[in-house]
Every structure is written in C-alpha cells, then in structure tokens.
Amino acid sequence: MAAAQAAGAHLGDVPALLPALEAEGARLEQCLRQQALSPAAGGWAALQAEARGHLAMLADVSDAVRQAARVLPASGRLPADVADAVSGLRAHTDAYRELTAPTVLPPLPPEAPRRSAR
C-alpha cells in the first residue's frame, strides 16, 4: 500500500477503508479465538465462512492495489492521451449535470405601485 501511494497510484477509497478492514479482521480473530477455546461447537461453520469471506475481500483489495501500482507509468505521469480523455469525460459530465439541473428562473422585478384612476 505504501509503495503504491509513494508511486502516485490512484487507490480510490482503499486508504480510507483500511481502518475498517483492520477492525473487522481483529474482530474476526477474537471470535475465532473464543470459538476455539469454547467447549460448545455451535456457530463454527458460520464464523469460518465469515472469516474466509473477509480474507477473500482482503485478497481482492491487495490485488487491486498491486494492479494500480503496475498501471502507473514509470515516469509517474499519465500519458497525454489518457489525461485528455479524463478531461473530456469531466467536461461531458459537467455539461450533463448542467443540462439536467433543475431550471432556476431569475426573480421577477418588483411590481410598480399601481396608481388609482380618478
């Protein structure tokens, strides 16, 4: 993770998710230890399945970080055509948001006082 960040790889929300992933891993570890020391064997299969799912998710996150680090060019900069494509997508997104935004009409000028007919 640190190497990918140092290389400037785009990691999305992964850094923000790390504390939650670590907390979930610690919780599962504690549950597994308690289950191993418990004389009752109930719930063991569900806990193992949950732990396997967590490990699979960690493997996916690790793979995504490795892929992000590999995709970044050696120079640490995106090629010009990729940067142009990103800029174009941003422009299209901004234009779409502007077109689909609710229309806000300007306020009407204050009404002139009416003169009574004599």
The average pLDDT across 20-24 equals: 87
pLDDT score for 44: 79
**Average of per-residue pLDDT values in the chain:** 75
- Dihedral sign computed on CA atoms, order 30, 34, 36, 42: negative
**Annotated domain spans of the chain:** 2-71, 77-102
Whether 5 shows a pLDDT value over 60: the answer reads: no
With beta carbons less than 8 A apart as the criterion, state whether 72 and 7 touch. yes
The end-to-end CA distance of the chain, in Å, is: 85
Tell me the C-alpha distance between 37 and 49, whole Å. 18
